[in-house]
Structure 1
Amino acid sequence: MAYDTDLADRIRELVAAEHGVDERRMFGGLAFLINGNLSVAAGNKGGLLVRVPPPESDALAGDDRVTPMVLAGRPRRGWLHVAATADDDDWVGQWVARGVAFARTLPAKGGR
Structure 2
Amino acid sequence: MARDAGLEEMMRADLGDLPNLREQAMFGGLCFMMNGNMVACIHKGTGLYRVGDAGMAQALAVPGTTQAMMGQRVMKGYVYLDVDHLDDDDTRAALTGIAIDFVRGLDPKE
User: Is TM-score (shorter-chain normalized) higher than 0.5?
Assistant: yes
1:82 aligned onto 2:101:
no
- RMSD of the TM alignment (CA)? 1.9
Any residues of structure 2 matched to 1:10-25 within 5 Å, and which? 10-25=10-25
The residue that corresponds to 2:97 in the other structure is 97
TM-score, scaled to structure 1: 0.83
Q: Give CA-to-partner distance per residue, 1:64-103, whole Å, 9 cap, x none.
A: 7111111131211101111133x32221122122212211
The amino acid across from 1:90 in the alignment is: D
SS at match of 1:19: coil
Q: Alignment length, in residue pairs?
A: 108
The amino acid across from 2:78 in the alignment is: W
The percent of aligned pairs where both chains have the same amino acid is 28
Which residues of structure 2 form unaligned runs of 5+?
Answer: none
Q: Mean Cα displacement is larger for which, 88-97 or 28-37? A: 88-97
The amino acid across from 1:6 in the alignment is: G
SS at match of 1:93: helix
1:48 aligned onto 2:47:
yes
TM-score, scaled to structure 2: 0.85
SS at match of 1:41: strand
Could you tell me how far apart the structure 1 residues matched to 2:10 and 2:33 are? 15
Which residues of structure 1 form unaligned runs of 5+?
Answer: none
Deviation at 1:62, TM superposition (A): 4.4
